[in-house]
Structure 1
Amino acid sequence: MTVHFIGAGPGAADLITVRGRRLIESSPVCLYAGSLVPAELLDSCPPGCHLVDTSGLTLDEIEAELLAAHRAGRDVARLHSGDPSVFSAIAEQMRRLDAAGVPYQVVPGVPAFAAAAASLARELTVPGVAQTVILTRTAERATAMPPGEDLATLSAARATMVLHLAVQRIDAVVEELLPSYGPDCPVAVVARASRDDEQILRGTLGDIAAQVREAGIRRTAVIVVGKALTAAQFPDSHLYSAARCRP
């Protein structure tokens, strides 16, 4: 058997890879986070599939489900929201499977920041404006950030920054980013990106906190910061330039 860690995408049920959906359709066991993974994806599970909502389980309990499936020789579709490579908490699960000798593979998905950029209709890397994207979070009610990865340090580059799991402390985020980015820096907050109830706020570091409070956004949102959000005057990319394309 194999445990398939599958990126279930940012929220819309059709934003999943063909490979991911096929594995869901063929796996007799499916573990998913009910609070984050779209329920419509579970319609793809085969008849009689053993469904386990992990949103209220501990890591030990999740491991027990995976090991039970292994002993029974049953493949597992382990669904994680977004893409497994970012803030998915699969590292500790894979570490335990390694110790138990259980095989697994990882199937990528559409990350929340990509869905947010699509909803905003913006490229996060704009020629001459921003060529670096920083994906990070804050430490409140979560694992502490490693040394040197605080927002004040990361913001010194003034690159495009995307913050996950941080909208609930928007005031503190703004306070830490202001010295480097300034109050006029463009900001967008995208809640529930790609879903029917998606919500988008656009503003600056000077006014975004008030907008977030007024909208009542507390979770399932990403914060995007940087000049790429409003850039209009910038050079064309070298990728399609006449100099590059000419024989």
Structure 2
Amino acid sequence: MKICFVGAGPGDPELITLKGYNRLSNADIVIYAGSLVNPKLLDYCKPNCEIHNSAYMDLDEIIAVMHRGVKEQKNVVRLQTGDFSIYGSVREQIEELHKLNLEYELVPGVSSFLGAASALEVEYTVPEISQSVIITRMEGRTPVPAKESIRSFASHNTSMAIFLSVQAISDVVSELTEGGYPLDTPCCVIYKATWPDQQVVRGMLSDIAQKVEEAGIKKTALILVGKFLGDTYYNSKLYDKEFAHEYRDSSTDK
């Protein structure tokens, strides 16, 4: 029996991977991030599955349940929001499992920043507009390395997805603009992307803080900023009929 970390996806229960669904539906014990994971995903569990909400647990309690489950020859799933490689606190959990010589596997999920892009029908990497995506957060109780401040990243003026920071939206805007983004840069805040109660607030850096405050959004939201949200775009060369590559000749070669 193994412990399996499963990325639950951004919220829509159908956006869990097939492998993640298989692990979840065969679990005897599930520890899920109750403050973030859509509880509808628990409908995939067996009727007699033992369910724990990690919102009420500390690290030691989480590991203790995992350890007990393995000793009892049970399948244990740790169900985490989005993909646990982004702000998932997975490293600290697997380090504890190493100490106990417990085996585990990782089944990735769809991150909320990917779910948000589809919900907004946008592409982070628009040719000649932006070819990079910065994923970051504002400093809070968890420190951020000085070289990774939002202000320092803002100098690139590229696409940015900011997690866990909407409660400080005014400070985020200040950091972005002082770092180099113009006030007319498109900005969007998406609350609970892909959930039934998804909410989208669009604007520019000049007015997004006021709009978010008026909407009453204070948590569980992503801040997206960059020209990729604007109207300007350019086609890629990949499907240009004049662009030849190893699979296709250009129209002039025919």
- Note whether the superposition's TM-score is higher than 0.5: yes
Superposition RMSD on alpha carbons, in Å? Answer: 1.1
- Per the TM alignment, residue 156 of structure 1 is displaced from its structure 2 partner at its CA by 1.0
Q: Which residue of 2 aligns with 1:68?
A: 68
- Per the TM alignment, residue 190 of structure 1 is displaced from its structure 2 partner at its CA by 0.3
Letter of the structure 2 residue corresponding to residue 50 of structure 1: E
TM-score (norm 2): 0.94
**Any gaps of 5 or more consecutive residues in structure 2?**
none
Distance 1:97 1:147 in 2: 31
Q: Which residue of 1 aligns with 2:156?
A: 157
Per-residue CA distance 1:203-246 (angstroms, 9 max, x = gap): 00000000010000000000000001114342x21222222231
Distance 1:58 1:121 in 2: 38
Q: Which residue of 2 aligns with 1:143?
A: 142
Letter of the structure 2 residue corresponding to residue 214 of structure 1: E
Q: Is residue 129–residue 231 contact of structure 1 (8 Å, CA) maintained in 2? A: no
The runs of at least 4 consecutive aligned structure 1 residues that moved more than 3 Å come to none
Secondary structure in 2 matching 1:14: helix
Per-residue CA distance 1:144-175 (angstroms, 9 max, x = gap): 00130111111111110100000000000000
2:88 is equivalent to residue 85 of structure 1:
no
Q: Is residue 160–residue 227 contact of structure 1 (8 Å, CA) maintained in 2? A: yes
Larger Rg: 1 or 2?
2
Q: Which residue of 1 aligns with 2:4?
A: 4
Secondary structure in 1 matching 2:219: coil
2:35 is equivalent to residue 35 of structure 1:
yes
Q: Which residue of 2 aligns with 1:48?
A: 48
Per-residue CA distance 1:185-216 (angstroms, 9 max, x = gap): 00000001001110001100000000010000
Secondary structure in 1 matching 2:66: helix
Letter of the structure 2 residue corresponding to residue 173 of structure 1: V
Q: Which residue of 1 aligns with 2:169?
A: 170
Secondary structure in 1 matching 2:99: helix
Distance 1:110 1:92 in 2: 21
Secondary structure in 1 matching 2:14: coil
Distance 1:150 1:162 in 2: 13
Q: Is residue 8–residue 110 contact of structure 2 (8 Å, CA) maintained in 1? A: yes
Secondary structure in 2 matching 1:238: coil
Q: Which residue of 2 aligns with 1:15?
A: 15
User: How many pairs are equivalent?
Assistant: 245
Letter of the structure 2 residue corresponding to residue 8 of structure 1: A
Q: Which residue of 2 aligns with 1:95?
A: 95
Distance 1:213 1:48 in 2: 43
**Any gaps of 5 or more consecutive residues in structure 1?**
none
Distance 2:210 2:43 in 1: 39
TM-score (norm 1): 0.96
Distance 1:117 1:48 in 2: 37
Letter of the structure 1 residue corresponding to residue 46 of structure 2: P
Equivalences for 1:74-223 in 2 at 5 Å? 74-140=74-140, 142-179=141-178, 180-223=180-223
> Which range moves more in the overlay, 236-245 or 14-23?
236-245
Q: Is residue 123–residue 228 contact of structure 2 (8 Å, CA) maintained in 1? A: yes
Secondary structure in 2 matching 1:116: helix
Distance 1:211 1:169 in 2: 13
